[in-house]
Amino acid sequence: MSRAVEVLILDELRAASPTFRATLEHMPALQTIGEADLRQDGAGTIALLFVDEARPADSGARLAGLKETWPALRTLVAFQALTRDDLLGLLAAGADAFIARNASAPDVCTALLALADGQSCLTGAPVPETPEAGDTLGLTPREAEVLRFLSAGFSNKEVARRLSLSVRTVETHRLNLRRKTQTGRLKDLVSLARQLGLAPVVEAESGRRSAEGSARRPERDGAVHH
């Protein structure tokens, strides 16, 4: 990518620390801008939206307004934990990708560049209309990504390799998924992934993640990075 990616940071609640913002703003690959600097349709710019988890509907409305004003604007949504309905609401509002709110500045930069390059991290397919029976789910972004790979039939070891995690970390995420979804059956995981609007894993993606994973050490703490 020849020029810096324009990034619009939307963080009314100051969820991101000043150090995080300063680090992001000084990365050569990124150029932070304000809403007044957006182009006519928002093309070429990524909005980094930090969700107000106490009022996720407000964040969804904010996101929908951005998409209506700047339809070509792409959005990376940062959150810590949301219910299934809140996640679906953000997808319906136009979220292009998700990342953990506590992700490091370099990881956020990587996700922004990937999104600008047309790649996806926890990309939402069109939101299905079928409601889910039972309680809403508070899945973290990493749990949702693990769910994507498990629903595609990957083993714990394969998921660990492709997401650059330890097998133990994947096992922990799998246990959390079992606890939250009350099931571990593949058929149910596939159905849940579809209902959440999670994009299916394709061979090109799994191969790319595997190559990236071989170049770095596995995560130890299960933090959510995309």
Q: What predicted TM-score, i.e. pTM, was given to this entire model?
A: 0.56
Domain count, the chain: 2
Asked if 15 and 109 sit in the same domain, the reply is yes
Rounded-to-5 percentages of helix, strand, coil across the chain:
45, 15, 40
Asked if 108 and 154 sit in the same domain, the reply is no
Give kind and range of the element (H or E) at residue 7.
Answer: strand 5-10
Residue 130: inside a domain = no
Asked if 95 and 9 sit in the same domain, the reply is yes
Candidates 138, 140, 162; CA nearest to 152 is 162
Q: Are 11 and 50 in contact (CB under 8 A)?
A: yes
**Predicted confidence pLDDT, tens digits, the chain (226 residues):** 457 889 999 887 677 778 888 888 889 889 888 888 888 778 889 999 998 888 888 999 999 999 999 988 989 888 877 777 788 888 888 888 888 777 788 888 888 888 888 765 543 333 333 333 323 467 788 888 888 888 878 888 988 888 888 999 999 988 888 887 777 777 777 777 777 767 666 544 444 444 444 444 444 344 334 4
Q: State the residue range of the domain holding 196.
A: 141-213
Q: What is the CATH number of the domain that holds 207?
A: 1.10.10
Structure token digits, residue 153: 């039939």
Residue 49's contacts (CB-CB under 8 Å, 6 or more residues apart) are 10, 11, 59, 62, 63, 66, 75, 76, 77, 78, 95
Q: Say which amino acid occupies 87.
A: L
Asked if 40 and 92 sit in the same domain, the reply is yes
